[in-house]
Amino acid sequence: MNVLIVSDVRLHREGLASLLDTVPAITVVGVVDVDSALRRPSRRTVDVLLLDLLPPECLKIVHRLRQLHRRVRIVAIGVREVESEVLACAAAGIDGYVPVNAAADDLVAVLDGLKRHELVCSPKVAASLYNCVGLLRTVSAEPLTVRELEVIDLMNEGLSNKEIARRLGIETATAKNHVQNILLKLNVHRRGQAAAKLRALIRDRFDRGDAISAPAGAFNGN
């Protein structure tokens, strides 16, 4: 498995490279910062791209990275196990998740899972993905976008359209359109219903602590 490490923190990328160099069957083919990854695609075949960049920054570049590395699987490192971050990563098409409190063995387990075409993740991450996808398949033919997931997270906080617009740096009318699209996709009539619908399902799964193993890419529409 050829791995490209992308991080703006030199200590992080060099540390990850040193760690993975000790793992059989894994070859680090590059250690670069984000700008370099976007400007100069690796000349060697890349199977997995380790992205050490937290949402929402990482979400903005995932699409561009996939244009350069079309068949690569992208693993996000340092993901917080909160529903908004996990669901935003899923919407962006992230293939694997390494939580912020993960150990070295956890990273290796995620990479091993990708080789078996499985998604290896904690029960909390699995719960968020499971419920989000299950809900959207049930009530909506069209998935929520990354921006809509950001908006629904702010709706959870009780923010108005104007406050959401200010937080995201967009026009109030644009925020209102996002809210209307969310209500339409989730087949609800009031903004509180949309947030509550997602929140209740995810909390229920969290309480049960269910873990799942699903095919890699199952949560990004592939």
What is the per-residue pLDDT across 148-206, written as a single tens digit (0 to 9) for each? 777 876 786 788 999 999 988 899 999 999 999 988 887 788 887 876 666 554 444 43
Burial class (CB in 10 A: 0-12, 13-18, 19+), 151: buried
The residue among 179 and 138 whose pLDDT is bigger is 179
Domain end point (choices 118, 148, 178): 118
What is the predicted pLDDT for the residue at 206? 38
**Do 32 and 136 belong together in one domain?**
no
**Do 24 and 65 belong together in one domain?**
yes
Q: Has residue 216 been placed in a domain?
A: no
Q: Has residue 74 been placed in a domain?
A: yes
**Do 112 and 160 belong together in one domain?**
no
| Confidence check: pLDDT of 137 > 60 | no
Q: Look at the chain and report how many structural domains it folds into.
A: 2
The pTM of this model reads 0.59
State the CATH number of the domain containing residue 148: 1.10.10.10
| First-to-last C-alpha distance (Å) of the chain | 21
Half-sphere exposure for 164 (CA within 13 Å, toward CB):
24
